[in-house]
Structure 1
Amino acid sequence: MRPEIPSKPRFAPLQLGVKRGSSFCLEVLHVNAVELARRSRGLKTKEVAEAIGVSVSVLSHVERGGRRPYPKLRRELARVLGTDEALLFDESGWPREVGEEVLSCLRK
């Protein structure tokens, strides 16, 4: 029996202005709080992965919601990204969906 597919996407869409050649367009990305915090600080996936001692693949899986990071990794991500672990992850350890509350805290 196949598991049910949730009707709601795991992560909220984020519209970013992107310059492509001579035109400017909006690009919709699905991100979670970990990816948003990393991008808002201008960090590359590779830089964060090296700083916390994991592969780029592991960090990418966390950012895409395909992996729930273990507690030590959650603490290290929060430290490197300079924010509270509770803002990045929910009570069960999964990356948080991006919501207005998270966005306002990350802007500080």
Structure 2
Amino acid sequence: MNLVTLDQAKLRLRMDTDDLDDDIELMISAASTIILRYLDSAADEFLDSNGDVPTDSNGDAEVPADVQTAALYLVGTMLRDPDGSDTQKWESGYLPPMVVSLLASRRIPPLA
């Protein structure tokens, strides 16, 4: 149920080694779960009837670009600042402002 693939995340993170693949996979899973919970029923627009993320013939998730970008941003934040000391300028329990900006219009009701 991942919103992005390992290859997409590594490309965004500019990583060309496999050293952190397991960690990145966990972060992709966590970011995907966080975003799907945030969107709640609004995620139904791009999930299949089983609640899974559909993929294309290359195995890439068929998810809107803004949702994928939000997932990649979260993965990058988790990897680059795991304890939140540098970039966590949002309250505990909330999403980074960039993620909220990307996803706000998809919320039901939309955030103003």
Larger relative strand fraction:
1
Larger relative helix fraction:
2
Q: Which protein, 1 or 2, shows the higher relative CO under an 8 Å CA cutoff with sep ≥ 6? A: 2
Query: Is the structural similarity TM-score above 0.5?
Result: no
TM-score by length of 2: 0.31
